[in-house]
Chains A and B, each alone.
Chain A
Amino acid sequence: MSGENNYLLEMRGITKIFPGVKANDNVDLLVKKGEIHALVGENGAGKTTLMKVLYGLYDSDAGEIFYDGEKINMTDPQQAINLGIGMVHQHFKLIDTLTVTENIILGAEPRQGLAINYDRAREQVEEISKKYGLKVDPDAKIQDISVGMQQRVEIIKILYRGADLLIFDEPTAVLTPQEIDELFEIFNSLREQGKTLIFITHKLKEVKTISDRITVLRDGKSVDCVETSSVTEKDVAELMVGREVLFRVEKDKAKPGKEVLQVKNIHVRDNRGLKTVNGISLNVKEGEIYGIAGVEGNGQTELVEALTGLRPVEEGQVFYQGEDITNLSARKLKDRKIGHIPEDRLRRGLVTNFTLSENFILGFHHQSPYSRSIFMDYKEIEEHAKSLIGDFDVRTSSHNNLASKLSGGNQQKVIIAREFIQEPKLLIASQPTRGVDVGSIEFIHKQLINKRDEGTAILLVSAELNEILSLSDRIGVIYEGEIVDTFTAEEADEREIGRLMTGSGKEVKTGE
């Protein structure tokens, strides 16, 4: 059935069933040689599953795969690698304490007798790095380099193993806007050199910018495959969700009340002991959303952790409803109804080996009605889980499933549901829509606005400037651990904020 056409990869009729879920239901995916093929769909639509079938991580229950015109029976990743298929996972699989070069050659070391030929290895790494514009420092340790560079290491790693077809599962979710631009340059140069790319993302703008063709999955089925140039972002969103999607957030003007959070000139250090928050002051009132705009890595993480009891405040004070809460424990802050949506759902937000029921009470497990003294009421906990799964449209077959079995976006919804339902007085939301599909973004944004209108004070941190602009009533721009300027929603100007985020406004400010 193949041969005449120019498809590098044909996946036909792929079906993959998990206990209780048909993750892929007769899916077709046809990828042409040398194209960038976007794979889109709602959370839980089956994108990651399809790619894992292709990469030999899952066995499919039905369907055929043709690669380069030949039918293949993929059994494990090693076979995929031998065929020239490489995958950049959403969560990198690098070893922190090894160097860039060591990570790249791991398991495929160039040898000289019994010893590893490091000089040869470095040369090869540098060669690939130059050829595709993948800037890395071959001798740096993984733990010391940025997320963007870690991703480039992953890419070099699969190119080093001779990949022709590269799979990227939500590569942009963890990147700053600038890093995304750099990644797309790399994509372009890969395409120019004849490589073929499959690219999963929830950001339709990215799909429009970089892809040649798009396959849309919905509820495990492939609903369409279209030329990117022939559709708009809105079309794609509708194909994904099956209804019209609002991209604009509709909200009334905020009616701020009393001050809830007051941060006075705090200083915080990061894991390496460097001062990353240098005297930040801000306040958030009842019924308003204070957005922090900034390029990631400018102290947002440390600021949020300091406000939620996960990192010591070195200097300065934090007040909550008039009470000094500086350096109170995370438990005490939770008990005071301070909600927290953490930026890293897998590291902080979820115990992935716990069931959904257990995750829905993380942080509240010691409170009634989920427990009395030390005795937990699992019946109550399960009821709680069932109602949240319904209310927040978490796609799963059972509240008894482990959180690790959920798709990325659905994991995020579990966290959102957990924090929202406790009716926080102050909600600290960090990257609340990361990895979440357009329909769910709309939902989460609406929920945030609802909470605001109910009187919750919300501190929103997001790397998406759009998200900040469309939700916030006041905006602070963070740069190198300082709030360099603040705006009200009316005065906010995208270009100006963009400039301040990259530090170009700093001199002006200090000159005042």
Chain B
Amino acid sequence: MSDLQTTKTDTGSKFINLLIELGFALFSILVALLVGTVFILLAGESPLDAYHALYIGSIGSWREFLNTLWRATPLIFTGFALALPFKAGLFNIGGEGQLLVGGFAAGFVGFYFTGLPSIIHVPLAILAAMAAGAIWGLIPGLLKAYKGAHEVITTIMLNYIAIQLTIRYGIDRFRTGGRQALPTIEESARLVRFVDMAEMPIIGQIPLIDVFALPGLRLHLNFILALISAAVLWYLLFKTTVGYEIRAVGFNSSAAEYGGISSSKTIILSMVIAGALAGLAGAGEALGTHHTFMSGMDADLGFTGIAVALLGRNHPFGIVLAGILFGGLTQGGLEMQFVGIPSEIVTIIQALVIFFVAGLQMLKWFLLKRREKGETE
């Protein structure tokens, strides 16, 4: 055993691994789109036109790109909500429910309290959303830590309870019009939208801020919060004792226990933070996108978040990229419908991407194993 050059090969192989990850992500999307052509042809449409529309609709223009980011925002958060517990060895399927209770709490605070200044109303609504989401994460966390109840079962059950509680009972209790929604939130509770930034004091002074002044654009502050959350999450995971403990429990809970780390506490904490993050997704939808909490608002964001986390390899920055990709699929899908592709086909293509992302992940593990055989175990 002789020492060769060391640090260089370390960073080198890290970089190569990153490229491989990226390559695989793009490859799985490509395969999904290829398979998608079959369905488009079956529907008697032209794949070329369809994908042209997908491109135009998602990143074909500055405006559409911003819309893609807007669609991506909640997905990034629900992606985080899966990824963090996953690092501790848990599969949090409850993003959907956590998002719903968060959105409901935000929407409720948004319309119920009147006469508050924005500077108080917005944070209050956001905090309420995070707290509600956190509680929805806490419950399965507690059940797992102290009763050993499997988190997949409990979070799925809590999803149903959240739907009943917010969309059925909650909305019915407070709604005023015929719409399946809570009353519209106060203006003071709205999240700033990028369109309005040019007109705001101080922020309006930022050069080029008026590139966002596109009428009808719904991209709002929560996207910035998503980016900040990604950075915070990364720091939390890789630079703090909390992250160290989460990762230790996820890798080897017996060794973690030996190291004085309480698995129960770690499990609960990761679920609480995950719930709060999913709650933030709900807050953004209620306070930024719809200005109310309404039925259908969740739009399976929680479940798509699972695919986002998978594609993003459970890494905070990977999830941001994956979230934007899925945002683009949703946004571009609208354009596809616009040019006459049936909405079912659009849904199929989105499902194909999720399917191949998951499927090719397996293939990648297999191939990496083979490659590493020449190198590592």
> Which residues of A lie under 8 Å from residue B239 when comparing CB positions?
375-376, 378
* Residue A408, interface by CB 8 Å: no
Contact yes or no, B258 A219, CB < 8 A = no
Return the contact of A353 from the options B5, B251, B260, B374 (Cβ within 8 A).
B251
With beta carbons under 8 angstroms apart, the residue of B245, B261, B373 that contacts A59 is B373
**Contacting pair B9 A334 (CB below 8 A):** no
From 188 to 241 in chain B, residues with beta carbon under 8 angstroms from any chain A beta carbon are 239-241
Task: Say yes or no: B2 contacts A351, CB within 8 Å.
Answer: no
State whether B241 touches A365 (Cβ < 8 A). yes
Residues of chain B contacted by A334 (CB below 8 angstroms): 259-260
Residue of B whose beta carbon sits closest to that of A395 = B1
Does A352 contact B252, Cβ atoms closer than 8 Å? yes
Is A347 a contact of B255 with CB atoms below 8 Å?
A: yes
Which stretch (A13-21, A137-145, A316-324, A501-509) binds chain B?
A13-21
Known contacts A19-B9, A354-B251, A398-B7; A25/B259 CB under 8 A: no
Q: Are B4 and A21 in contact (CB under 8 A)?
A: yes
Contact of B241 (CB < 8 Å), options: A220, A342, A371: A371
Asked if A476 is at the interface (CB within 8 A of a chain B CB), the reply is: no
> Is the C-beta of A40 less than 8 angstroms from some C-beta in chain B?
no
**Quick check: is B39 within 8 A (CB to CB) of the other chain?**
no
A19 and B256 contact, CB distance less than 8 A: no
The main secondary structure of chain A at its interface with chain B is loop
Q: Which residues on the A side are within 8 Å of B254 (C-beta)?
A: 347-348
Residues of chain B with a CB closer than 8 A to A329's CB: 260, 262
Residues of A within 8 A of B5 (CB): 20
Q: Does A98 contact B (CB under 8 A)?
A: no
**Given the contacts A18-B375, A20-B9, A376 and B258 also touching, CB distance less than 8 Å:** no
CA distance A100 to B374 in the complex (A): 33
Does A366 count as interface, using CB distance less than 8 angstroms?
A: yes
A358 to B245, CA, bound (A): 11
Q: With A21-B1, A22-B1 known to touch, is A400 a contact of B241 (CB < 8 Å)? A: no
A20 touches B255 (CB 8 A): no
A128 near B: Cβ within 8 Å? no
Name the distance in Å between A412's Cβ and chain B's nearest Cβ: 14
B242 (CB) vs chain A CBs: closest residue = A374
B259 touches A45 (CB 8 A): no
Chain B residues, CB < 8 A from A424: none
Digitize B333-375: 1 where CB-to-A-CB distance is under 8 Å, 0 elsewhere: 0000000000000000000000000000000000000000111
B260 touching A363, Cβ below 8 Å: yes
Report which of B2, B10, B255 forms a contact with A350, defined as CB distance below 8 A: B255
Per-residue interface assignment for chain A, residues 370 to 401, with 1 indicating a CB less than 8 Å from any chain B CB and 0 otherwise: 01001110100000000000000001011011
The residue from B4, B251, B374 contacting A397, defined by CB atoms under 8 A apart: B4
Given A22-B4, A354-B251, A330 contacting B376 (CB threshold 8 A): no
Q: Which single residue of chain B is at the shortest CB-CB distance from A340?
A: B258
- Closest Cβ neighbor of B11 among chain A residues: A400
Chain B: CB-nearest residue to A44: B1
Judged by a CB distance under 8 angstroms, whether A173 is at the interface is no
Q: Once bound together, how far apart are the Cα atoms of A72 and B95, in whole Å?
A: 53
Is A120's beta carbon under 8 Å from chain B? no
A414 within 8 A of B: no
Known: A19-B10, A354-B248, A375-B239. A331 touches B260 (CB 8 A): yes
Q: In the complex the two chains form, is B241's CB within 8 Å of A366's CB?
A: yes
Contact across chains for B240 and A374 when beta carbons are under 8 A apart = yes
Name B2's closest neighbour in chain A (CB-CB): A22
User: A351 near B4 (CB under 8 angstroms)?
Assistant: no
Residue contact B248 to A362, C-beta cutoff 8 Å: yes
Q: How far is the CA of A365 from the CA of B258 in the complex (A)?
A: 13
Complex Cα–Cα for A219 and B1 (A): 4
Say yes or no: is B244 at the interface (Cβ < 8 Å to chain A): yes
Is the pair B13, A362 in contact by a Cβ cutoff of 8 Å?
A: no
Closest to A21 in B: B1
Q: Contact string, A185-204, partner B, CB cutoff 8 A, digits 1/0?
A: 00000000000000000000
User: What distance in Å separates the Cβ of B145 from its nearest Cβ neighbour in chain A?
Assistant: 15
Q: Are A400 and B10 in contact (CB under 8 A)?
A: yes
Q: Which of B3, B6, B240, B258 touches A310 (beta carbons < 8 Å)?
A: B258
B128 to chain A, nearest CB (A): 25
CB distance from A219 to the nearest CB of B (A): 5
Closest to B5 in A: A20
Q: Nearest residue in B to A375 (C-beta to C-beta)?
A: B240
Residue B71 CB within 8 A of the other chain: no
B241 touches A348 (CB 8 A): no
Chain B proximity of A130: nearest CB distance (Å): 36
Say yes or no: A351-B248 contact (C-beta < 8 A), given A59-B374, A365-B259, A378-B239. Answer: yes
Give which listed residue, A330, A332, A358, A397, contacts B6 with CB less than 8 A: A397
Residue of B nearest to A370 (CB): B241
Taking a contact as CB atoms under 8 Å apart, the answer to whether A20 and B3 are in contact is: yes
Q: Is the CB of A331 within 8 A of B262?
A: yes
Contact check, B373 vs A58: say whether CB atoms are below 8 A apart: yes
- A290-312: CB near B (< 8 Å → 1, else 0) gives 00000000000000000011100
Kindly list the 5 A-B residue pairs having the minimum CB-CB distance in the complex, ordered from nearest: A331-B260, A363-B259, A362-B259, A19-B9, A330-B260
Give the A-binding residues of B (Cβ under 8 A).
1-7, 9-10, 13, 239-242, 244-245, 247-248, 251-252, 254-262, 373-377
22 pairs, A vs B, C-beta closer than 8 Å = A19-B9, A19-B13, A20-B5, A21-B1, A21-B3, A23-B1, A45-B1, A58-B373, A219-B2, A309-B260, A329-B262, A330-B257, A330-B258, A331-B262, A347-B252, A348-B255, A362-B255, A362-B258, A398-B7, A398-B10, A400-B10, A405-B377
Known: A20-B5, A23-B1, A376-B240. 4 other contacts (CB 8 A): A20-B6, A220-B2, A331-B260, A397-B6
